[in-house]
Amino acid sequence: MPEEPAPPTARTELAEELRARVAASNQLLARARRHAAQAMAQARHVDRLLHSTSQRAGAAEQAEGTASEHMVEVIEHEVAVHERAVALHELAAELQEEGGWPERAAAARAHAAQAREHSRQAREELASYKARAAAQERVEEQHKHVP
């Protein structure tokens, strides 16, 4: 025989707490997306500067380094936000299950799986970005030593 669901007041408090946590997680994700978009725009701008004229190469290289560092930080932050979302959704699933709402628990687990996938994609993007940055750095280093 299944356990009795929690009293309505406890359920209400639990639901409100979960809503607040999910809202906070969504705000973090939105902020991370905004930062990523800004960093990408800055990186595109720097790319245009690098290819526009050789006279600006020194300033553009410095700006590119700053943009690259910022982009890595943004993507790392995005990974952390997705990992936090996974943890929150898993917690929500546990609490929903304990509260007697198996369908809500299943939905929370589905959200956790989605957040896990977003985290995996962000980690892949970070690894790819770091590899491109390292390759670019090697090319620039070789150009410094060519007479």
In whole angstroms, give the CA distance from residue 96 to residue 90. 10
Of residues 17 and 3, more confidently modeled: 17
Tens digit of each residue's pLDDT (9 = 90 or more) over 122-146:
899 889 888 888 887 787 777 776 6
Range ranked top by mean pLDDT from 9-13, 44-48, 88-92, 136-140? 88-92
What's the CA gap between 39 and 57, in Å, rounded? 20
145: phi then psi, degrees, rounded to nearest 5: -95, 0
Q: Are 71 and 43 in contact (CB under 8 A)?
A: yes
Residue 101 φ/ψ, nearest 5 degrees? -120, 75
